[in-house]
Amino acid sequence: MRQECFPPASNPVIKRSVIIEHIRNLPAELPPRACLLGLDLGDKTIGMAVSDDGRMIASPLEVIRRTKFTKDAERILQVIADYNIGGIVIGLPVNMDGSEGPRCQSARQFGANLAGKTDVAIGFWDERMSTQAMERHLIAQDVSRKRRSEVIDKMAAQYILQGALDFLRNLSD
């Protein structure tokens, strides 16, 4: 558990950026009973999912249309405040061969920019095939194409976050 240090009242509050290099180190940075926020970063949208405070189950939350980073970050910061978020898991679109391309660099840059606006820990989770997996699931459930397009990004965020939650739970077992 990290120790919080509060500056004297006369000093401005400086936010501490916490980027976690490996997801296994994320729990050490989380307050007890804090939820996690999962993000699926697309070119046009950001899918969001949230965990319960026991960090067992991820639930799809919403999709925001991407505009400018500042506006997108404002909505994410509001979700952080509304849902007692203690950490963020951002999907990292790793190539099938395990290498990182421009989309990974973009996701890492988004995480770094977001870290400058909040003090919650931010980690990354390999999201290979998350959108495709959710697309196949929704097709199997006979969800219409229009409805799939409305929910796919938040379902992909749920898939990413659930994968991270399962991994973290298996570490503690």
pLDDT tens for the chain, residues 1 to 173: 333 333 334 444 444 568 988 889 999 999 999 999 999 998 899 999 999 999 999 999 999 999 999 999 999 999 999 999 999 999 998 887 888 888 889 999 999 999 999 999 999 998 866 566 666 766 676 667 766 555 668 888 999 999 999 999 988 76
- pTM for this prediction: 0.81
Using DSSP bridges, classify how beta strands 35-41 and 85-92 pair: parallel, antiparallel or unpaired.
Answer: parallel
Res 133: pLDDT: 64
CA atoms within 13 A on the CB side of 168: 27
* pLDDT at residue number 149: 59
